[in-house]
Amino acid sequence: MGIVKEFYDKIAEGEWKRLTQDAYHRLELIVTKHFLEKYLPKTGLVLDAGGGPGRYTVELAKKGYDVVLLDLSPKCLELARRKIARARVGNRVRQVVEGSVADLSMFQAEQFDAVLCLGPFSHLIEERDRGRAAGEVVRIAKRGAPLFISVIGLHGVFRTVLQRLPHELTEPSHEELFVRGVHRYHGILHKGERGFPDAYFWHPKQLKELFENKGVETVEMATCEGLSSHLQGPTNKLYRDKEKWAKWTQLILRTCTDSTLLGMGEHFLYVGRKKST
């Protein structure tokens, strides 16, 4: 996980801005917040596991939730502390903790009224680590608590390769991606860009089965970018017309749970509930 930590240390500020940088990326925030508002309890203690620089921690604290923020990256957490202070929600943020979702032993069983894990499962390339992390997330959630897990979709990555990285289709070092969904860090890319760190890209069925096998009831699954997936240009252009944008976001929210769209987006969200018995 050292490579992942180093990666997010270097892009902490960019990670804070990522979900608001343009209309297309804002859709992930809109869709995720829609399901948080739908399924979170009215009050309680929420763990934002892998919450990076604290975008959702701040949002939840503003709404009156008590929040614990955990992340692997010290630089992201340093930025999160500044954002929390600037938003004047420090009284609601109980802890800011450095750590991994694969080891939540610092927390008691059934401690949290809800758990967010928006991203970290996309950086667990070993099956045993994914299983351990899922078990930990379920362990620290109260019975009946909602779980929100978002990941990068495998088929969405294939579409990204077609759009922006077609050379990877025949690059031997990337064969594992197309066979097993595993991307290993290869350092600098062909144009001198910094490569993406170790990652595992998910099929919706895999994520659903993982959590159901850990005692979670599946509630809903949604494509975070919905019908706009991989259509950044048209989406950002539409944003200029506020009436059309409002209509489009309504359509996104109405269709994002459609199973025909679920695996094609860049990200998808799993909403589950820890079983009461």
Query: What CATH number corresponds to the domain at position 196?
Result: 3.40.50.150
Given this model, what pLDDT does residue 191 score? 45
Given this model, what pLDDT does residue 195 score? 76
Q: How many domains does the chain have?
A: 1
Predicted TM-score (pTM) of the model is: 0.95
Q: Residue 243 region, left (φ>0) first, then alpha (ψ -120 to 50), else beta?
A: alpha
Angle separating helix axes 204-212 and 127-140, nearest 10 degrees = 50
Q: Cα dihedral sign for 63, 38, 30, 97?
A: positive
Instruction: Compute mean pLDDT per 10 residues along the chain, 277 residues long, and list them.
Output: 91 96 98 98 98 98 98 98 98 98 97 98 97 98 98 96 92 92 74 75 98 98 97 98 98 97 95 94
- Exposed (0-12), middle (13-18) or buried (19+): which is 164, by Cβ within 10 Å? exposed
Given this model, what pLDDT does residue 190 score? 40
> In this structure, what token pair is assigned to residue 189?
């890319």
Domain boundaries, position 14: 2-274
Given this model, what pLDDT does residue 193 score? 52
